[in-house]
C-alpha cells in the first residue's frame, strides 16, 4: 500500500493505492493555516507509515518549500516537519507521473501542463519524474508576457495571462459553452498565448506527448485549434502533428502520481 496526497490551491485530495488501484479516498478544502494538520490527519487515518508521497504547490529546494504562492502557511517551511518520512514533490511533478502511469503506452518524454489558478508543469523523462534540483519546469514564471505583478513577486509571468487568478477563465468557459462570441474569442487568444508559453519548452524537450490538465483544461476544445496553429508557426524542425496532445485523464492523477513515486522511491 502507498498513500498519495495532492495539496491543491482549493482542495486536498488523497488516496491510498493497493496494486496500482485506489483503495481509499479523502477530500478536504484547502484552508491556509490548516494544511499541515489536514495532511497529518489523513496520514493517521490511512494507517500508512512508510510509503507516503505528498505533492505541494510549492517551489521546493533542499526539502524547503521556498515559496507556495497560494498557501502562505507552507512558505519557508522544512516540509519534513509535517510528516518526517514522506517524499515531497511539486504538485505538477506528481500529476505528470500519474498521467504517465495511466496511459498503457508509455509516451516519453511526457510534458504535463496544468492550467489552473496558476500555471505549472511537470516532466517525465525516461520513465522518471524530472525535478532538477527540486522544482524544475516552473513554466508559469517565464516572463515578458505582460506587465502585471505575479504571486512570485516579479512581473510579466506567463501565469499572469493564463492563470485563473488573473484571467477570468471560469466565467469565460461558462460563456463559451453557450456560444458567446466574446468568450470564444477569449479562448482563441488564450490558445495563442499558451503556444507562445509552451513553444520554448516543446522546442527544448522534444516531448512525445503534451498533457493539458488543471481546471482551465475544460475549455480544451475552445483553445486548442488556435494553440496548434500558433505552435506550428513557433516551432522549427518539430511540427505539432508529430506530438500527441491530450487532456489529463483523471482528477486523481496528482494523488496517484505522489503515491506511486513514494511506493517506488522514484525521488
Ligand atoms: Zn511569477
Rounded-to-integer distance, Cα 267 and Cα 261, Å: 7
pLDDT at 113: 98
Residues 117 and 219 in one domain: yes
Task: State the CB neighbour count (10 A cutoff) for residue 3.
Answer: 29
Instruction: Tell me how far the alpha carbon of residue 96 lies from the centroid of ligand 1, in angstroms.
Output: 21
pLDDT at 70: 80
Residues 112 and 188 in one domain: yes
Three-state DSSP state, 233: helix
pTM comes to 0.96
| Cell numbers at 265, concatenated | 522511491
Residues 116 and 9 in one domain: no
pLDDT at 10: 86
Residues 150 and 241 in one domain: yes
Instruction: Tell me how far the alpha carbon of residue 27 lies from the centroid of ligand 1, in angstroms.
Output: 28
Residues 116 and 228 in one domain: yes
Instruction: Tell me how far the alpha carbon of residue 118 lies from the centroid of ligand 1, in angstroms.
Output: 9
User: Are residues 257 and 98 in contact, defined by beta-carbon separation less than 8 angstroms?
Assistant: yes
Report the pLDDT averaged over residues 228-240: 97
pLDDT beyond 90 at 171: yes
Task: State the CB neighbour count (10 A cutoff) for residue 85.
Answer: 12
pLDDT at 75: 95
pLDDT beyond 90 at 237: yes
Residues 204 and 182 in one domain: yes
Residue 256 lies in a domain: yes
State which residues form the domain around 154. 105-247
CA 68 to chain CA mean position, Å: 14
Instruction: Tell me how far the alpha carbon of residue 159 lies from the centroid of ligand 1, in angstroms.
Output: 7
pLDDT tens digits, 96-105: 999 999 999 9
Residues 7 and 88 in one domain: yes
pLDDT tens digits, 37-63: 999 999 999 999 999 999 999 999 999
Report the pLDDT averaged over residues 111-139: 96
The CATH number linked to 202 is 3.30.420.40
CA 170 to chain CA mean position, Å: 18
pLDDT beyond 90 at 20: no
pLDDT at 165: 87
Instruction: Tell me how far the alpha carbon of residue 257 lies from the centroid of ligand 1, in angstroms.
Output: 25
pLDDT tens digits, 22-33: 999 999 999 999
Percent with pLDDT over 90 in the chain: 94
Torsion of CA 227, 230, 235, 236, to 10 degrees: 140
User: Are residues 167 and 157 in contact, defined by beta-carbon separation less than 8 angstroms?
Assistant: no
Residue 100 lies in a domain: no
Residues 240 and 257 in one domain: no
Instruction: Tell me how far the alpha carbon of residue 180 lies from the centroid of ligand 1, in angstroms.
Output: 31
Residue 33 lies in a domain: yes
Looking up cell 502507498 gives 2
Ranges 17-21, 42-46, 139-143, 230-234: which has the least confidence: 17-21
pLDDT tens digits, 128-150: 999 999 889 999 999 999 999 99
Instruction: Tell me how far the alpha carbon of residue 81 lies from the centroid of ligand 1, in angstroms.
Output: 26
pLDDT beyond 90 at 261: yes
Residues 138 and 63 in one domain: no
Q: How confident is the model at residue 9 (pLDDT cuts 50, 70, 90)?
A: confident
Residue 122 lies in a domain: yes
Residues 77 and 115 in one domain: no
Residues 163 and 67 in one domain: no
Rounded-to-integer distance, Cα 157 and Cα 163, Å: 10
Q: How many domains does the chain have?
A: 2
Instruction: Tell me how far the alpha carbon of residue 153 lies from the centroid of ligand 1, in angstroms.
Output: 6
| CA-to-CA dists, residue 189 to 110, 144, 193, 211, 237, angstroms | 25, 17, 6, 20, 25
Residues 241 and 111 in one domain: yes
pLDDT at 52: 98
User: Are residues 1 and 242 in contact, defined by beta-carbon separation less than 8 angstroms?
Assistant: no
Beta strand 119-125 pairing with 110-115: antiparallel
Instruction: Tell me how far the alpha carbon of residue 140 lies from the centroid of ligand 1, in angstroms.
Output: 6
Name 60's bridge partners: 65
Q: Which residue has the higher pLDDT, 210 or 68?
A: 210
Instruction: Tell me how far the alpha carbon of residue 68 lies from the centroid of ligand 1, in angstroms.
Output: 11
Instruction: Tell me how far the alpha carbon of residue 155 lies from the centroid of ligand 1, in angstroms.
Output: 7
Amino acid at each position: 500500500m502507498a498513500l498519495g496526497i495532492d495539496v491543491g490551491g482549493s482542495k486536498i485530495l488523497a488516496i491510498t493505492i493497493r496494486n496500482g488501484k485506489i483503495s481509499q479516498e479523502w477530500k478536504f478544502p484547502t484552508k491556509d493555516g490548516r494544511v499541515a494538520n489536514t495532511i497529518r490527519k489523513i496520514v493517521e487515518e490511512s494507517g500508512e507509515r512508510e510509503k507516503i508521497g505528498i505533492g505541494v504547490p510549492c517551489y521546493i529546494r533542499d526539502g524547503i518549500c521556498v515559496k507556495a504562492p497560494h498557501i502562505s502557511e507552507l512558505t519557508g517551511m522544512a516540509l519534513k516537519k509535517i510528516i518526517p518520512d514522506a517524499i515531497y514533490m511539486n504538485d505538477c511533478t506528481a500529476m505528470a507521473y500519474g498521467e504517465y502511469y495511466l496511459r498503457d503506452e508509455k509516451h516519453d518524454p511526457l510534458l504535463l501542463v496544468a492550467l489552473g489558478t496558476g500555471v505549472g508543469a511537470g516532466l517525465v523523462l525516461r520513465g522518471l519524474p524530472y525535478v532538477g534540483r527540486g522544482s524544475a519546469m516552473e513554466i508559469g514564471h517565464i516572463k515578458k508576457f505582460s506587465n502585471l505583478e505575479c504571486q512570485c513577486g516579479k512581473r510579466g509571468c506567463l501565469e499572469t495571462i493564463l492563470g485563473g487568478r488573473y484571467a477570468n477563465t471560469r466565467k469565460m468557459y461558462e460563456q463559451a459553452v453557450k456560444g458567446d462570441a466574446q468568450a470564444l474569442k477569449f479562448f482563441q487568444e488564450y490558445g495563442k498565448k499558451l503556444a507562445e508559453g509552451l513553444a520554448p519548452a516543446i522546442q527544448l524537450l522534444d516531448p512525445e506527448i503534451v498533457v493539458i490538465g488543471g481546471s482551465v483544461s475544460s475549455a480544451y476544445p475552445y483553445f486548442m485549434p488556435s494553440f496548434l496553429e500558433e505552435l506550428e508557426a513557433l516551432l522549427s524542425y518539430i511540427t505539432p502533428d508529430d506530438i500527441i496532445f491530450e487532456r489529463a485523464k483523471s482528477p486523481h492523477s496528482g494523488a496517484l502520481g505522489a503515491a506511486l513515486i513514494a511506493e517506488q522511491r522514484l525521488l
